């Protein structure tokens, strides 16, 4: 099929959603589909295996677009509508693959041109907005009704985790839905590469977090938990990789106020292809997320690293993690601090968790499994489109798309 993938975010950047979109484009191209990608004006140009990378026009004073709902994203999404409209009119796509809020654009194009769409559901948009703006709680039912509408109008939904899959089935039991978890991003050759300038060079154990520093990630919780580790007399270091310059300044000040700044190191972003090098230098990995239900992409690389993991006992984690592959703790500083101290002192437990986790990833969350599941889902979608058009398999009717 000829597919237009709508990705309403900067691309490419080394963070969860852009990484997932690149993996999606590569997997669809391997299935023989031609995929054009429309995204924001920000980001690094990367080659696509098939199709063309399109961007919305560069917008004055609109830059540094962060994850999550924002006024900047609303402006970019409005511009994306007109860019997508031009592409749809010109290129005659068989299918739209809509990531996150771009599903609302896809629904409009379905009504205008009859083009079916797949909804790529990385999070609940209704829940995301309510978590950011608590006053929207009174509109919860209405927001969920809108979200259910775009689910029902789709030809299928790709959900990134079990909780979102269940949400989709609650909205529309008959809708085709694929649960497609992320996979490890580790480079298998990274373990044999000399550390060089990427060596942390630290004495004492290293507790490590990798990811963006948005508030929902729980970095405040992590810092407060690390103070507990220090109070327990453990000479450990906390290394935090990721974040914008403003984020880094903010959390450096938080560490200073907690009197732990001498053991806290905020390194900023690092290249994705060096992720394995950095994880390999950690003694404990941590995911302190406090909000959301979607499983963080970093979890799969953490589990694959051969290092023990401490994570908050929340649905965002427990739909993938259990006590055999991680140490789950309540989302409070004392509980997380005690969990970190426990793994620092009980190396046998740490090794057991790490080994079991690595084995679990090799069984359930491989790139081959990802591509196999996505390919089967797309063959069903293509079959439904062909049947709906009353044409033989391999032929898609474009006649109803003219405007």
CATH number of the domain within which 397 lies: 3.40.50.2000
pLDDT in tens, 145-167: 999 999 999 999 999 999 999 99
Residue 386: the pLDDT is 79
For residue 205, pLDDT beyond 80:
yes
Same-domain check for residues 343 and 370: no
Would you state the pLDDT for residue 385? 87
Mean pLDDT of 115-124: 94
**Residue 286 and residue 353: Cα distance in Å, rounded?**
13
CA 103 to chain centre: 17
Same domain membership, residue 106 and residue 215: no
DSSP, collapsed to helix, strand or coil, labels residue 346 as coil
pLDDT tens-digit series, residues 58-96: 998 898 898 877 889 999 999 999 999 999 999 999 999
Would you state the pLDDT for residue 383?
Answer: 92
Average pLDDT over residues 203-227: 96
In this prediction, residue 388 carries a pLDDT of 55
The reply to whether 232 and 178 lie within a common domain is no
- Reference 186, options 99, 285, 47; nearest CA is 285
Instruction: Say whether pLDDT at 313 is over 90.
Output: yes
Q: What is the pTM of this model?
A: 0.84
- 340 and 216 both lie in a single domain: yes
Q: Are β-strands 284-287 and 309-312 bridged in parallel, bridged antiparallel, or unpaired?
A: parallel
Residues 89 and 100: their CA atoms lie apart, in Å, by: 22
One domain, residues 28 and 168: yes
Sorting pLDDT into bands at 50, 70 and 90, what band is 266? very high
Q: Mean pLDDT for the chain?
A: 91
CB 160 within 8 A of CB 295: yes
Shared-domain flag, residues 247 and 151: no
**Total of domains in the chain:** 2
The share of the chain scoring above pLDDT 70, in percent, equals 94
Share of residues in the chain with pLDDT > 90 (%): 80
- Domain check: are 316 and 372 in the same one? no
Average pLDDT over residues 176-204: 80
**Same-domain check for residues 147 and 273:** no
pLDDT score of 399 more than 50: no
Alpha carbon distance, N-terminus to C-terminus of the chain? 21
Same domain, 214 and 110: no
Q: Which of 5-14, 108-117, 143-152, 388-397 has the lowest mean pLDDT?
A: 388-397
Range of the domain at 283: 190-364
Do both 216 and 240 map to the same domain?
A: yes
Residue 187 has pLDDT above 80, yes or no: no
* Residue 396: pLDDT over 90: no
> What is the mean predicted confidence (pLDDT) over 205-222?
96
Range list of β-strands (E), 88-152: 95-99, 117-121
Does residue 397 surpass a pLDDT of 90? Answer: no
Q: What is the mean pLDDT of residues 30-57?
A: 95
**Are 108 and 206 part of one and the same domain?**
no
Indicate the pLDDT class of residue 129, thresholds 50, 70 and 90. Answer: confident
Say whether both 357 and 396 belong to one domain.
no
Residue 189, pLDDT score:
52
Task: State residue 228 phi and psi, 5-degree precision.
Answer: -60, -40
What average pLDDT score do residues 203-221 get? 96
pLDDT in the model for residue 268: 96
The confidence band for 14, taking pLDDT boundaries of 50, 70 and 90, is confident
């Amino acid at each position: 099929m000829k597919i237009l993938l709508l990705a309403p975010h900067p691309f490419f950047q080394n963070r969860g959603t852009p990484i997932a979109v690149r993996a999606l484009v590569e997997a669809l191209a391997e299935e023989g589909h031609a995929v054009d990608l429309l995204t924001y004006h920000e980001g690094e140009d990367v080659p696509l295996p098939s199709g063309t990378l399109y961007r919305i026009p560069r917008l004055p004073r609109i830059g540094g677009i962060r994850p999550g709902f924002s006024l900047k994203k609303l402006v970019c999404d409005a511009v994306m509508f007109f860019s997508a409209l031009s592409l749809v009119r010109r290129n005659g796509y068989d299918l739209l693959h809509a990531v996150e809020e771009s599903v609302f654009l896809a629904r409009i194009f379905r009504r205008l041109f009859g083009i079916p769409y797949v909804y790529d559901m990385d999070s609940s948009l209704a829940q995301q907005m309510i978590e950011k703006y608590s006053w929207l709680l009174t509109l919860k039912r209405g927001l969920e009704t809108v979200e259910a509408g775009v689910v029902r109008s789709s030809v299928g939904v790709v959900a990134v985790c079990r909780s979102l899959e269940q949400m989709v089935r609650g909205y529309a039991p008959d809708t085709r839905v694929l649960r497609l978890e992320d996979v490890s991003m580790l480079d298998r050759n990274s373990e044999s590469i000399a550390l060089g300038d990427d060596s942390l060079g630290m004495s004492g154990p290293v507790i490590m977090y990798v990811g963006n520093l948005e508030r929902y990630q729980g970095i405040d919780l992590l810092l407060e938990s690390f103070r507990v580790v220090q109070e327990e007399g453990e000479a450990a270091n906390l290394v935090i990789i990721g974040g914008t310059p403003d984020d880094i300044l903010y959390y450096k000040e938080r560490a200073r106020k907690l009197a732990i700044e001498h053991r806290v190191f905020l390194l900023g972003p690092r290249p994705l292809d060096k992720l394995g090098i950095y994880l390999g230098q950690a003694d404990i990995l941590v995911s302190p997320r406090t909000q959301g239900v979607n499983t963080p992409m970093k979890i799969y690389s953490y589990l694959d690293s051969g290092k023990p993991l401490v994570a908050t006992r929340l649905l965002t984690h427990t739909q993938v993690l259990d006590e055999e592959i991680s140490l789950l703790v309540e989302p409070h500083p004392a509980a997380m601090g005690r969990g970190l101290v426990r793994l620092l002192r009980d190396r046998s437990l740490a090794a057991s968790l790490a080994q079991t986790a690595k084995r679990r990833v090799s069984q359930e969350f491989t790139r081959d499994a990802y591509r196999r599941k996505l390919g089967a889902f797309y063959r069903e979608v293509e079959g439904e489109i062909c049947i709906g058009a009353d044409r033989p398999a391999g032929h898609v009717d474009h006649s109803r798309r003219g405007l």
